[in-house]
Chain A
């Protein structure tokens, strides 16, 4: 019974702190708690893997620069600055 409760709490902890784990922002003890749990929980392991892929993909979305943005700003600056 205690084991099940402990497992459930670890599951909740991992789900709530998955981003902090991936960002390296958990304490060592918390980090070990996540890793202990994910070693026996395929669902949480999958959660971490997919979040990692997502986080690794997002920097590639940096928007393409658009021509003439600076020119528009400088015109406004000349007129109103």
Chain B
């Protein structure tokens, strides 16, 4: 990184080889087509190279790169909104969203459900999609993802929850009510 920041192009090329696939995978979720995603990935690295001097090193390089890549993809997406967006739950209080997906079935682990989820993610409104993709698919922490999107953590958490609730409704066909156990207790002790 230090060599790349000092203008060593070969060092930057090795950063490209190390991070390109992963960045492309993220950017693809914010793009309409694979070609758009590839273009956005290339633009992101070009911008990163030209602005590497501004990378302060207080964030992980990939988090910085994410921000550039996601912004590039969102610019493209804003110009070409995805058709057939699912009805978002954003206009309704969260407790009024129909509880039509009581439990995800074990089929959740099947390829078919993964496909359904992939499609549902692509139809999410961008602000919910970015939260779900960064936090749940890519595994960033809440703090990292909120910072990357320029949001306060409370606002990020709200988007994440609404995104998850919308996805949950979208996979309603893959649910059954064969399990009502409370998942992984989080409290230290019940009174």
Q: Which residues of A contact B (CB under 8 A)?
A: 11-12, 15-26, 28, 31-32, 34-36, 38-39, 42-43, 45-66, 69-70, 72-74, 76-77, 80-81
Contact = CB atoms under 8 A, between A and B. Distances in A.
B145 to A, nearest CB: 11
B38 interface: yes
Interface in B1-42: 9, 12-13, 16-17, 20-22, 24-26, 28-29, 34, 38, 41-42
Contacts of A17: 161
B95 A19 contact: no
A80 B46 contact: yes
Interface residues of B, number: 65
A49 B187 contact: no
B99 A63 contact: no
B187 A52 contact: no
Contact of A51 (B12, B13, B164): B164
B99 to A, nearest CB: 6
25 contacts: A19-B157, A19-B160, A20-B157, A22-B183, A23-B142, A45-B180, A51-B164, A52-B184, A54-B171, A57-B108, A57-B114, A58-B137, A60-B114, A62-B25, A63-B26, A65-B24, A66-B25, A70-B17, A73-B16, A74-B16, A76-B42, A77-B9, A77-B12, A77-B16, A77-B45
Majority secondary structure, B binding face:
helix
A72 B94 CA distance: 43
B34 A49 contact: no
Interface of B: 9, 12-13, 16-17, 20-22, 24-26, 28-29, 34, 38, 41-42, 45-46, 49-50, 94-95, 97, 99, 101-104, 108-109, 113-114, 117-118, 121, 132, 136-139, 142, 157, 160-161, 164-165, 167-168, 171, 175, 177, 179-191
Contact of B180 (A32, A34, A49, A58): A49
Contact of A77 (B49, B164, B180): B49
